[in-house]
Amino acid sequence: MVTLKDVALKAGVSPSTVSRVVSGNGRVGQKCREHVQAVIKQMNYRPNTHARALACNRVEMIGLITPNVSTPFNGSIAIGVEEAAIELDYKTLITNTFRSPEAAINAIESFREQGCENIIIHTHSIDDVTLVKLAKEIKGLVVVNRFIAPIAQRCVWIDNVYGGRIAAEYLIAQGHKKLTIITDDKTARDPKDRILGIKQAVEDAGLHIPEERILFGINSIGNIEHGRKLARQLIEEKRDFTAVLAYNDMMAIGAINEFQDMGYKVPEDISVIGFDDLFICEVSRPHLSTIHYPIVEVAKFATQLSLALTNGDEGVIGKANMFMPSLVERSSVKNIKNNK
Amino acid sequence: MVTLKDVALKAGVSPSTVSRVVSGNGRVGQKCREHVQAVIKQMNYRPNTHARALACNRVEMIGLITPNVSTPFNGSIAIGVEEAAIELDYKTLITNTFRSPEAAINAIESFREQGCENIIIHTHSIDDVTLVKLAKEIKGLVVVNRFIAPIAQRCVWIDNVYGGRIAAEYLIAQGHKKLTIITDDKTARDPKDRILGIKQAVEDAGLHIPEERILFGINSIGNIEHGRKLARQLIEEKRDFTAVLAYNDMMAIGAINEFQDMGYKVPEDISVIGFDDLFICEVSRPHLSTIHYPIVEVAKFATQLSLALTNGDEGVIGKANMFMPSLVERSSVKNIKNNK
DNA sequence: AATAATAGAGCAAGCGTTTTCTCAATTTAA
DNA sequence: TTAAATTGAGAAAACGCTTGCTCTATTATT
């Protein structure tokens, strides 16, 4: 392994000089710098991460904390983070919490102890006040896919109200009057926001969604199984509706499958719209119309923000951290304007 | 931040002793050990990763190199790795190569430079000889989802021949006589092995697959689009078949979608079987019958193997590194025994 | 031309561990 | 009972890098 000292020796300068050339801190003469750079290249020197981390108590690493990378949504977050990390030659350290708040806190601690202040966290299991406190302490902590008012500038999220609204508007434009919602935890912010948006659109159209047509989950995780379950409930309890707005694509697809298994046709009998725009939308039959969530972009921006925060680069700081979702039309919603 | 020295001071012993207590190396008296442990607990001391890494030139980290974590297959690998890592309190560092061999080599270099010898690599873009060479140099390198004879004990893979065989046997048992194969790169080992297994089953049944019913990809990545493309080709060129064996689930689902878009019914007109058993199998219509690939288990075992290799723990070394796939029956294959 | 300011580069301490040598104290063997 | 072996614990060097301090050489100021 070639060390800084080796380079210094060969270049005929002191280690400090080499260090300054590598890091770009401190003054080095033009000629000297070029010479050292040449030697570095020639010897293929690469600085030792740990020595550097130890000496300056920070590390060029960004830590991602996510419930489970193997799900498409979180996998996309990971990609966004890595894309941004690569650009600055940072490494990506991933910890899966499997929804355990202790695991998440532990991961944060562990990152900090390693001198890693750049932490991107995607969690719903740590409460707002804890996160606010942590954000105060950790310069580079940014929260992704979640809005927490006191630390809004440290969050990157999408406009869920708007997302809900455009989904509902689309359904209404297709002639649907009796909408139903299958969603996630009643107390969670995202479901609430999306419902809010839906209600706005519905009211603007002079319609109304009775509470009984909004089905929540309890401690659910918005997955396929959950979608199936609520869809079954919808049918069994004979709720009156022509279209369902699912909290996300997973639930939507679960619901579609359940409807189909029960003998209903989608979209002929029931229209369904999802949220997120995961790759499975193109796979399901019918292809799922949904609200596009720019996940990779959000994660990428979050990472850039974190880096800017710790490195004092003001470039992205202050930019709006809210992204806008958008409608993507496929085949799971039927236009029933003329036949009903 | 509380350091080893702080603990030593408070405990009234030398730093060396504390170090020995923490690491478990070297002799420490029973009484002394307990006292130090108590102080450690009381002060909530946690060793500094970087200092440790620097001092002993190794690090408790396992590096995963994968084309792209956001795909379900690779996401599952990540989970398997992390599961094994957590058990030994190792961290997981992930690098996505996006199929670039340079990125993969770079990642390996980078891991090594950081003193990380535990590398799990999933790649098809680095050739055998390079990998063999690397494996010789890096004690903890293990290759996942790939078999390379000279370093078989450093690979963890599944029996693709067997997988191909049971898929074909199942189709044949369902009365299919005209099978067709849509697969990946002709030169790649996995496709070849699966085809081999298929041919074995076919021949055992006294049947035959003409070469024109085996469609390969060129530089393809076995994804949905690729499946669609070959399915289209199958139809357009009017090949004669009743069932298709896809290289993997993604391709199978692409094919199903294409068939359906072209007006064919699956499985009524065409039966399809996949490979991998990703979650999307439960999502597609019809649900995809497939060959189960125990991905998480494979990745977990690979990680344990890597750790055993570097830590001299002989537990898992020598165990068979080949896993067996298994059939999972869903609804994409029709029994045509009695009506044809 | 004399003085002040600044640029360039080296020295050495320090980051938090591990680990090799010591050496004293204790145990074991003869 | 004595010599030999073993155990327990400390001192100090090393890991590779950063950075505050220092000193000389150069440039700018008057």
In a domain, B211, yes or no: yes
Best A283, A297, A303 member to test B by mutation, with max B CBs in 10 Å, is A283
Provide the edge-to-edge strand list for the sheet that holds B155-158: A322-323, A155-158, A140-144, A118-121, A61-66, A91-96, B91-96, B61-66, B118-121, B140-144, B155-158, B322-323
- Condensed to tens digits (0 to 9), the pLDDT of residues A258-278 reads 999 999 999 999 999 999 999
In a domain, B251, yes or no: yes
Distance in angstroms (rounded) separating the CA atoms of residues B147 and B158: 8
Whose C1' is closest to the CA of B14: which nucleotide? D10
The tens digit of pLDDT for each residue in B85-130 reads: 999 889 999 999 998 999 999 999 889 888 899 999 999 999 999 9
Residue A38 C-alpha, separation from nearest chain B C-alpha, in angstroms = 21
Provide the pLDDT for residue A339: 63
Q: Which nucleotide is nearest to B15 (CA to C1')?
A: D10
Smallest Cα distance from B204 to chain A, Å: 35
What pLDDT sits at residue B114?
Answer: 84
Closest CA to A183 of A163, A201, A207: A163
Tokens of B87: 């058990």
Q: Which two tokens stand for residue B326?
A: 């298994």
Q: Which residues touch strand C (CB under 7 A)?
A: A 12-17, 26-33, 51, 54-55, 57; B 1, 3-5, 15-16, 19-20, 22-23, 25-26, 45-48, 51-52, 54-56
**Domain that residue A13 falls in:** 4-47
Is residue B243 within 8 A of residue B333, CB to CB? The reply is: yes
How much is the average pLDDT of B254-269? 96
- CA-to-C1' span, A51 to C25 (A): 38
Nucleotide nearest to A57 (CA to C1'): C15
Residue B26 is assigned to a structural domain of this protein: yes
- Owner of token pair 């999933």: B122
Six-digit token string for B208 = 């035959």
Q: Is the pLDDT of residue A229 over 70?
A: yes
Specify whether A172 is located in the same domain as A261.
yes
Closest-CA residue of chain B to A62: B93
pLDDT of residue B220: 74
Write down the pLDDT at residue B340: 46
Which residues of chain B are at the A interface, by a Cβ-Cβ cutoff of 8 Å? 1, 46, 48-51, 53-54, 59, 68-72, 75-76, 78-79, 82, 91-96, 109-110, 113-115, 224, 253, 257, 260, 279-280, 282-285
Q: Indicate if A152 and A202 belong to the same structural domain.
A: no
Q: Which amino acid is at A191?
A: P
User: CB-CB: which of B50, B76, B253 is closest to A50?
Assistant: B50
Question: Which of B147, B233, B227 has its CA nearest to residue B192?
Answer: B147
List the structure tokens of B322: 């080949």
- Nearest nucleotide from residue A31 CA, by C1' atom: C8
Q: For residue A114, which of B252, B248, B57, B51 has the smallest C-alpha distance?
A: B51
For chains A and B, what is the number of CB pairs under 8 angstroms? 117
B258 and B146 inside one domain: no
CATH code (residue A74): 3.40.50.2300
Query: SS3 for A307?
Result: helix
- Do A38 and A90 have their domain in common? no
The arithmetic mean of pLDDT across residues B238-250, rounded, is: 95
CA of A131 to C1' of C21 (A): 49
Looking at the structure, do residues B130 and B196 belong to the same domain, yes or no?
A: no
Q: Are residues B105 and B73 located together in one domain of the fold?
A: yes
> Which of A54, A70, A225, A276 is the mutation pick for testing B, counting most B CBs within 10 A?
A70
pLDDT of the residue at B142: 97
The string of DSSP letters for A182-219 reads EEEETTSHHHHHHHHHHHHHHHHTT----GGGEEEESS
pLDDT at B159: 97
Same domain, B227 and B284: yes
Question: Is A145 part of a structural domain of the chain?
Answer: yes
CA–CA min distance A292, chain B (Å): 17
User: A304 CB contacts (<8 Å, ≥6 apart)?
Assistant: A84, A315, A316
- Using the structure block, give the residue that is written with the tokens 């993507």: A328
Nucleotide nearest to A7 (CA to C1'): D16
- Do B153 and B302 sit in the same domain of this protein? yes
- Residue A330 falls inside a structural domain: no
What CATH number should be reported for the domain holding residue A20? Answer: 1.10.260.40
Q: Do A233 and A263 have their domain in common? A: yes
C-alpha triplet B158, A95, A80: angle, nearest 5°: 90
Partners of B158 in the beta sheet? B323
Average pLDDT of the residues of chain B: 93
User: A176 lies in a domain?
Assistant: yes
Mention every residue, 6+ apart, whose C-beta is less than 8 A from residue B81: B62, B64, B92, B120, B299, B300, B302, B303
Look at residue A340 and tell me if it is in a domain: no
Would you state the structure tokens that stand for residue B38, as one six-digit string? 């108590």
* Residue A3: other Cβ atoms inside 10 A: 16
A273 within domain boundaries: yes
- Are B289 and B168 part of one and the same domain? yes
- Percentage, residues of chain A above pLDDT 70: 99
Q: How many domains does chain B have?
A: 3
Q: Is the pLDDT of residue A340 over 60?
A: no
Among the partner residues A70, A109, A285, nearest to B78 by beta-carbon distance: A70
If one counts every other C-beta atom within 10 angstroms of the C-beta of residue B175, the result is 17
Residue B273 pairs with which residues in a beta bridge? B245, B289
Residues 6 or more apart in contact with residue A104 via CB below 8 angstroms: A65, A97, A121, A123, A125, A126
Burial of A237 (0-12, 13-18, 19+ CB in 10 A): exposed
Q: Footprint of strand D, using CB within 7 A?
A: A 1, 3-5, 15-16, 19-20, 22-23, 25-26, 45, 47-48, 51-52, 54-56; B 12-17, 26-33, 51, 54-55, 57
pLDDT one-digit tens code per residue, B185-217: 988 889 999 999 999 999 999 999 999 999 998
* B206 beta partners: none
Residue B167 and residue B136 in one domain:
no
Average pLDDT of the residues in A270-293: 96
pTM of the model: 0.90
**CA-to-CA distance for A258 and A227, rounded, in angstroms?**
8
Whether residue B221 is found in the same domain as residue B247: yes
